[in-house]
Structure 1
Amino acid sequence: MKTSLKIIILSFSLCITLVNAQTKIPLIIDADTANEVDDLFALVRAINAPEFDLLGITSAQFHTSPLATDSTVVESQKINEKIIELLNNKNIALPLGANKPLKNNKIAQRSPASNFIIEKAHLQQKNQKLNIVILGSCTNVASAILSDSTIIPKIKVHYLGFWHNPENNSYNKNEFNSRNDSLAVNMLLNNKQLDLSVMTATTSQHLVFSKKIVDKKLKGNGGIADYLVNRWETYKRWWTTKDQKQKKWIMWDLAIIEALAHPEWTQQRMFLTPTENTKRQINIYTKIDVEKMEADFWQHFETILKQ
């Protein structure tokens, strides 16, 4: 009797573990982490999160920044490595991305990152897609597709970029992420078979954190907490003269991570692509619940502090 009971309990536990693994979202995050501040907050929310099976964080280039060096992807890579170190998670791969944008729409900028995306896409189960969140330039994902187009039905891309007016469905691609590889952005938009969702700058701009609250929640806690505070205090915004004391920061990238974890806090609609692109429909986030998203971030961070 005791042996039978142990077997039943063990089988039940294995079933629960299997169900939990299957309900987690298989995810790769492609991040130009060294470009700004919000990338770091987004990564911290995703790492060790119960909603995600985070397979890897790939580094992305941001060559159009006036602060850019000739190796922006290496800068992003270093911060990715530091965050993983501070959060003590050695199970997340950190493949290096391409340092330059696409030269044309036919030749990939191959890198360990694009190879990693291809590898993980092919490992997905038949009825499951690999989710790829792009927080910066689209170079690595576009390169993966150019290198192996058979991954297209196996991936779902979530892109943070360009401006969009849902009232008249007008687009403005003169936005930082989009400018860093316009060819790659258009390649994703033009691919009729690609499952593409976009968190626009128009929508994500409403998720704003205040320095006062960040200091209250993080300052003096050491580790990743003080690392985030230090990043905020030492990174100087070059694109605006407003709020020079940096009392507030738009958490563009965090918005798309929260939306993926909690789609119930968003409004989404299907729209036709820009007129200059192949005519097809893509999913665009038109509204987010910023209060719930911010509260959720801090709730997740409290679990980090307790570890």
Structure 2
Amino acid sequence: MFIKLLKFSVLCVIILTLQISKAQSDIQKIPIIIDADTANEVDDLFAIVRAVGEPKFNLLGITSAQFHTSPYATDSTVVESQHINERLMTLMNRTDIPLPLGSNDALKAPDQPQDSEAARFIIKKAHQLKAGQTLQLVILGSCTNVASAILLDETIIPKIQVNYLGFWHNPKANTYDKKEFNSGNDTLAVNVLLNHPKLNLRVMTATTSQHLVFKKTTVDTQLKGKGNMPDYLVNRWETYTRWWTKKDPEKTTWIMWDVAIIEALIYPEWTTLETFKTPKENTQRDINIYTKIDVVNMKRDFWRHINTLLQK
């Protein structure tokens, strides 16, 4: 009897230790939600793949975003993004990751949110954070879902940090060009983020991220013919028709704008982050903007991660 009790006690201690260890590990990981207009281009898919399985992340969900200004836009762009998110997670055997549907429309007014499953999910996860944690919201497309979450519940502001991929920016003159594609898909939502005096906003500009360029030859070597997710990425590259440039018609290279912001969050030491005033037309306050990235290390790390995923 004594031996049985001893074994049971040891088992309980082991289980408790594992539970504590897991809890501590979850606290140490970066809680993150990715908001992506995945159907708009190619780089969103590569960025999502980079984030999935990253040991530093506690990836809470991937929300879908609209992109109504694209010449390819249908009347249901958010559904298209949603479908690709679902397909990609199925191919990666990660159907455990929540994929809330975002708004299909941009904001109609600066104080009127577009309520959606995605906006409510962001609010819920922000309030579920443990003490000392900050929810990292990574916006790869339009700002509609995140801006709506803030408008629906401003009490999440102290609990979140917004990481936004957008703008063209001149660091020397501190001038902004909001005609960049992501910003143009919901200008009112962009201004919600810029104007809120207490929102912690960090921006990976198009000016900075444009330097992260992948070659098709590398993509083929690393991914082609390797099934499921790898071939899905290759197919997306080969079948998506660029509308914004006539250069490089053979699509031998592609700018991985969105990958840059994911890599920056994982490895901040590979970036230069500076503080600037917001645009003159917005509430004047400080925001952080990435002005340089280590392209070589980011590329190397991306393919290291891919190889890790393929070995599992």
TM band (smaller chain): over 0.9
> Which stretch of the first structure deviates more once superposed, 119-128 or 181-190?
119-128
- Match for 2:31 among 26, 36, 43? 26
1:290 counterpart = 2:295? yes
Deviations 1:266-285 (A, max 9, x none): 11011100001000000100
| Other-structure match for 2:265 | 260
1:200-211 to 2 correspondence within 5 Å? 200-211=205-216
1:132 counterpart = 2:141? no
How high is the TM-score relative to the length of structure 1?
Answer: 0.97
Deviations 1:83-128 (A, max 9, x none): 1100111221111100010000011111111111111111112321
Give the deviation of 1:48 after TM superposition: 1.7
- Take 1:254 and 1:46, find their aligned partners in 2: how far apart are those partners? 9
- Match for 1:148 among 136, 149, 153? 153
- Give ranges in structure 1 of 5+ residues lacking alignment: none
Give the deviation of 1:190 after TM superposition: 0.3
| Other-structure match for 1:37 | 42
Aligned residue type for 1:248: T
1:45-64 to 2 correspondence within 5 Å? 45-64=50-69
Alpha carbons of structure 1 residues 276 and 127: separation in structure 2 relative to 1, 3 Å: same
Alpha carbons of structure 1 residues 126 and 8: separation in structure 2 relative to 1, 3 Å: closer
- Give ranges in structure 2 of 5+ residues lacking alignment: none
The answer to whether the 8 Å contact 2:110/2:189 transfers is yes
| Other-structure match for 1:178 | 183
Aligned residue type for 2:232: Y
Give the deviation of 1:303 after TM superposition: 1.3
1:277 counterpart = 2:282? yes
Give the deviation of 1:6 after TM superposition: 6.2
- Take 1:204 and 1:171, find their aligned partners in 2: how far apart are those partners? 15
Query: 1:156 aligns to what SS in structure 2?
Result: strand
- Take 2:130 and 2:198, find their aligned partners in 1: how far apart are those partners? 19
- Take 1:69 and 1:145, find their aligned partners in 2: how far apart are those partners? 27
> Which stretch of the first structure deviates more once superposed, 1-10 or 218-227?
1-10
The answer to whether the 8 Å contact 2:27/2:133 transfers is no
Query: 2:39 aligns to what SS in structure 1?
Result: helix
- Take 2:207 and 2:296, find their aligned partners in 1: how far apart are those partners? 17
Query: 2:248 aligns to what SS in structure 1?
Result: coil
Query: How many residues are aligned here?
Result: 307
The answer to whether the 8 Å contact 2:27/2:130 transfers is no
Aligned residue type for 2:155: T
Aligned residue type for 1:53: N
Query: 1:296 aligns to what SS in structure 2?
Result: helix
1:188 counterpart = 2:193? yes
Give the deviation of 1:236 after TM superposition: 0.8
- Take 2:48 and 2:309, find their aligned partners in 1: how far apart are those partners? 13
- Take 1:8 and 1:110, find their aligned partners in 2: how far apart are those partners? 46
- Match for 1:123 among 117, 123, 128? 128
The answer to whether the 8 Å contact 2:119/2:148 transfers is yes
- Take 1:28 and 1:76, find their aligned partners in 2: how far apart are those partners? 15
| Other-structure match for 1:71 | 76
- Take 1:168 and 1:151, find their aligned partners in 2: how far apart are those partners? 33
1:238 counterpart = 2:243? yes
Give the deviation of 1:5 after TM superposition: 6.7
How high is the TM-score relative to the length of structure 2?
Answer: 0.95
Deviations 1:141-190 (A, max 9, x none): 11111111111111110000001111111111110000000000011000
Give the deviation of 1:8 after TM superposition: 6.2
Give the deviation of 1:23 after TM superposition: 1.4
Alpha carbons of structure 1 residues 109 and 267: separation in structure 2 relative to 1, 3 Å: same
> Which stretch of the first structure deviates more once superposed, 51-60 or 14-23?
14-23
